[in-house]
Amino acid sequence: MLRAEDYEQGRYEEKKEITVQERNLWETVPAQDENYQSFIVRYNQNVEGTVQYESDRTFQIIDDMFGVTYVPASQVPEPLISSFSYFSVPKCYTYMDQGSLGASGVTRLHEHPYLKLKGSGTLIAVIDSGIDYRHPAFRNGDRTKIVSIWDQNIPGGLSKEAPFGRVYNREEIDRALSEENPLEIVPSIDESGHGTMLAGAAAGNGIPEEGFSGAAPQAELVIVKLKPAKQYLRELYLLPPEKDIFQEDDIMLGISFAVKIAFQLKKPLAICIGLGTSQGSHRGEAPLSQYISSVANFSQNAVAVSAGNEGFARRHYMGRMGENKQSETVELQVGPRESDLGFSMEFWGEAPNFYNVVIQSPTGEKLPVSAALKRETQELSFVFVETRVLVNYIPIERRSGNTLIFFRFLHPAQGIWKLEIEGRRGSIDRFHIWLPVRGMISDGTFFLEASPEYTITSPGDSPDGMTVTAYQHRDNSLYIHASRGYNTDNLIKPDFAAPGVDIKTPLAEPLGGYGNASGTSLAAAQTAGIAALLFEWSVIRGNEPFFSGTSVKNYLKRGAVREENIQYPNKEWGYGRIDLYHTFELLT
Catalytic residue list: 128, 194, 521
What are the CA-CA distances from residue 98 to residues 309, 315, 508, 570 (Å)?
Answer: 9, 17, 16, 24
Q: Quote the DSSP letter at residue 539.
A: I
The Cα 261–Cα 266 span in angstroms is 8
Concatenated DSSP letters of 251-270: HHHHHHHHHHHHHHHT--EE
The Cα 351–Cα 355 span in angstroms is 10
The angle subtended at Cα 429 by Cα 428 and Cα 434, nearest 5°, is 155
Residues in the chain: 588
**SS3 label, residue 9:** coil
- The separation between CA 32 and the C-alpha centre of its own chain, rounded to angstroms, equals 19
In terms of phi and psi (left: phi > 0; alpha: psi -120 to 50; beta: otherwise), the region of 545 is alpha
The Cα 549–Cα 349 span in angstroms is 32
By the 10 Å C-beta count (0-12 exposed, 13-18 middle, 19+ buried), 477 is classed as exposed
Closest residue by Cα to residue 169 from 189, 151, 153, 152? 151
Residue 37 β-bridge partners: 71
Give the contacts of 572 (CB within 8 A, at least 6 positions apart). 469, 478, 482, 484, 485
What are the CA-CA distances from residue 547 to residues 299, 555, 567 (Å)?
Answer: 6, 10, 29
The Cα 396–Cα 394 span in angstroms is 6
The crossing angle, in degrees rounded to 10, of helices 580-587 and 549-559 is 90
The crossing angle, in degrees rounded to 10, of helices 580-587 and 520-535 is 30
The Cα 304–Cα 452 span in angstroms is 22
